[in-house]
A and B are shown apart, each in its own frame.
Chain A
């Protein structure tokens, strides 16, 4: 047992900060007198910690969660670049069973925190669209996999860089993502070709849009199709965020500034 204890001691030695992922209040209490700053990361600040990073979506994979937590803490200047932090998190459905030591410069920021918090659109809107895409990816349309492209934010510019493929079913409607009816509606409309355009405040401006950005200098992984290319390119030309559900591999990807910032598997949520 001594070797194991030594190993753990080695992992936690001289850490600059402790990250607790969705801790229970008992766990949080235990760290109340800790010397290191304690940062709580979770969907809500249930323990009323001073340093808190909100998780907008329920990351099931550990890396995504830790990445988001650290990027959020860096952005809020709760930790500094180069700090070594210890993350206490739940893994494989458990709670607080994993301890990981990570140097905050070890990874290049993927912009996942940026995606939710510093997007042009409101964070809640980005999250809602994400949830719709994940839901759509999970269930598909009548059991068949579907693809979808949502362009969120900067809607005025996006509308000017796209043209309608057909009549806009959302014209003169006041539907916002997050309305209960929207999931069903978007599911039905997802068999239409083209992109959904969603405004900063979450209003669904249009469906059936053919995006016409210039695709120069857009760097997306090879092998992704026209939908991803269009989504990636429009985010380079405008301040929008594109959330793309792939028809072929069923993954949900988010683009910002012409780059892929987040890739998740709907089946894991």
Chain B
């Protein structure tokens, strides 16, 4: 830990070796007490904030429940564990039971980052699932399998962000990942946009047609130069039938040419 100046050495110069040992025991005891308080306070705090209700029903909470704990439990335990480890390391440093250059000291410096990383992951998991729920709730009225992709997309983007933040905290070089992602997404968006241009336009039009239903099955319509009875409207195409011929018209074309409803 960065203490500004060397606290353990300072304490060691102040007290006799036995005194230092007692001090380190005291630090340890204090650490355990603080850890417990942190555990309780974070629990209370999260209860006050209504975290248990918010995370209710997300897969993470369910997994936690099946393991006999809860999201609140995991987070508060993590916080307490963090304090415990901190106390133990400081005590060890003061008592000089391990050499200061040892692996452990570097580990202590690493600890807050680790804690934030785990915390970010947990929040990411929960937020991702929550976002998926909210988005799918919004799209509830659109009963189409194609629309089911959107909530999943939102969920995984949030997962990805959380993982990036966590990795960043752990000191992993995320720049390469980001660039890779950017390249990938650019490639995919560019190529998919190019390849699926018509489908995308059709599905956007289809979404409008399905939600507002300017015409429905059984109506006689003229679309472009096709006249007939609407047999089916889906995300991408509209089926119009006349005299034994079924015209399958892309929804994009429907929007472009406009619709004439024949009423008589």
Contact = CB atoms under 8 A, between A and B. Distances in A.
Interface of A: 154-160, 171-176, 179, 197, 199-201, 203, 205-206
A156 B234 contact: no
B143 interface: yes
Interface of B: 141-144, 210, 213, 216-218, 220, 229-232, 234, 239, 241
The 6 A-B residue pairs with the shortest CB-CB distance in the complex, in nearest-first order: A159-B218, A174-B143, A156-B229, A156-B231, A205-B217, A155-B217
A172 B143 CA distance: 11
Given A160-B218, A205-B216, A155 B232 contact: yes
A39 to B, nearest CB: 33
B165 to A, nearest CB: 37
Contact of A199 (B141, B144, B210, B217): B217
Contacts of B234: 201
Contacts of B210: 174
Given A174-B142, A174-B143, A176-B143, A203 B229 contact: no
A156 B143 contact: no
A156 B142 contact: no
Contact of A156 (B141, B144, B213, B241): B241
Nearest to B213: A172
B96 to A, nearest CB: 66
Given A174-B142, A179-B143, A205 B213 contact: no
B153 to A, nearest CB: 20
A159 B217 contact: yes
6 contacts: A159-B217, A159-B218, A171-B213, A174-B141, A174-B144, A175-B143
Contacts of A160: 218, 220, 229
Contacts of B143: 173-176, 179
B231 A200 contact: yes
A31 B143 CA distance: 46
B213 A155 contact: no
Contacts of A158: 218
A159 B231 CA distance: 9
